[in-house]
Chain A
Amino acid sequence: MRNLFSPSHRVTALVCGALGVALAAAFMGVRSGAEDEVARASEPRPARDVTPALDPWAAPETYTPSVILYDHFETLGVEDGLPSERITSVIAEGDDLYVGTDAGLAIRRGGVWSVLSEESGLAHRYVTAVARDAATDTTWVATLRGISRVSGGDVRTYTQLSSGLINDVVYHILVDGDLVWCATAAGTSVLDTRSGSWTLYNHENSIMHEPWCYSIATGPQRTWVALWGGGIVELDRRDGGWREYRDPDGEMELDLLADDGPIHEVTSFIAYDQGLLWQATYFGMARFDGRRWRSFTQAESGLPGDFVAHIASRGDACWIGSDEGFGVLRGDTCVSYSRQPDGTCSVTIVTDGEETETRTLATAPGDDYVLWTYPRESDVWIATGHGLTHGTATQNK
Chain B
Amino acid sequence: MRHRRQWIISALLVAASAVPVALFAQDDGEKPPDERYGRTPKKLVPYRGVGEPARRFFATAPTFRGPGREEEPPPDLASVKVGVLAPLAGADAQAGRQMVQGIRLAFEDANAAGGFGPRKLPFEMVVRDESKAWGAAGDAAVELVHDLGVWALIGGYEDANSHVLTRVLLKLEVPNLNSAGVDPTLTEHMIPWLLRVRPDDRQASYRLAQRIFEDDGHKRVVLLRANSRYGRTGTKEFKDAARRLHQPVLLETRYETRDSDWVTRMARIRALRPDAVVFWGRPRPTGAAVKALRSAGIECAIYGPDRAVGAGFIESAGDAAEGFVFTYPMDPRTGGRGWQAFRARYVKRFGMSPDATASFAYDAAQMLVAATRKVGLNRVRIRDALYELRQVDGVSGTILFDTTQNNVSPVILGHIEQGELIFDG
Give me the interface of A with B, judged by CB distance under 8 Å: 86, 124-126, 128, 144-145, 160, 166-169, 171, 184-186, 210-212, 214, 228-229, 249, 251-258, 263-264, 266, 282-284, 297, 307, 309, 323-324, 367-369, 385-386
Contact = CB atoms under 8 A, between A and B. Distances in A.
A145 B38 contact: no
A253 B38 contact: yes
Given A185-B167, A253-B37, A282-B190, A145 B142 contact: yes
11 contacts: A167-B135, A167-B139, A185-B167, A210-B163, A253-B38, A253-B188, A254-B46, A258-B55, A282-B189, A282-B190, A307-B190
Given A144-B171, A169-B139, A86 B57 contact: no
Nearest to A258: B54
Given A145-B142, A283-B190, A323-B65, A254 B163 contact: no
Contacts of A307: 62, 65, 190
B139 A145 contact: yes
Given A186-B134, A254-B57, A385-B67, 15 more contacts: A86-B67, A126-B171, A168-B139, A169-B142, A184-B135, A186-B135, A251-B46, A253-B38, A253-B46, A253-B57, A254-B55, A263-B55, A266-B188, A282-B189, A323-B65
A255 B55 contact: yes
B138 A185 contact: yes
Contact of A212 (B67, B167, B190): B167
Contacts of B139: 145, 160, 167-169
B164 interface: yes
Contacts, number: 120
A124 B146 contact: yes
A368 B135 CA distance: 31
Given A144-B146, A169-B139, A256 B66 contact: no
A386 B67 contact: yes
Interface size range on B against A: 35 or more
Nearest to A369: B66
B58 interface: yes
Contacts of B168: 144, 169, 185
Interface string B113-136: 000000000000000000000110
A343 B220 CA distance: 65
B191 A282 contact: yes
B60 to A, nearest CB: 10
B31 interface: no
B43 to A, nearest CB: 16
B29 interface: no
Given A144-B171, A169-B142, A252 B57 contact: yes
B185 interface: yes
Interface of B: 37-38, 46-47, 50, 53-58, 62-67, 134-135, 138-139, 142, 146, 163-164, 167-168, 170-172, 185, 188-191
B138 A167 contact: yes
A256 B54 CA distance: 5
B163 A229 contact: yes
Nearest to B65: A323
A255 B53 contact: yes
A263 B50 CA distance: 19
Contact of B146 (A125, A128, A323): A125
B134 to A, nearest CB: 6
Main secondary structure of the interface of A (DSSP, over half): loop
Contacts of B170: 309
A228 B163 contact: yes
Nearest to B50: A256
Contacts of A324: 65
Given A229-B185, A255-B55, A169 B146 contact: no
Contacts of B191: 282
Contacts of A168: 138-139, 142
Given A249-B47, A253-B38, A253-B46, A128 B171 contact: yes
Contacts of A263: 55
B135 to A, nearest CB: 3
Contacts of B55: 254-255, 258, 263, 283-284, 297
Interface centre among A160, A168, A256, A386 (most CB of B within 10 A): A256
Contacts of B135: 166-167, 169, 184-186, 211
Among A125, A255, A307, find the residue whose CB has the most chain B CB atoms closer than 10 A: A307
Nearest to A264: B57
A228 B160 CA distance: 12
Given A124-B146, A323-B65, A254 B164 contact: no
Nearest to B38: A253
Nearest to B143: A145
Nearest to A184: B135
Nearest to B183: A229
A369 B67 contact: yes
A117 B20 CA distance: 64
Nearest to A144: B142
A229 B159 CA distance: 13
B138 A255 contact: no
A389 B185 CA distance: 36
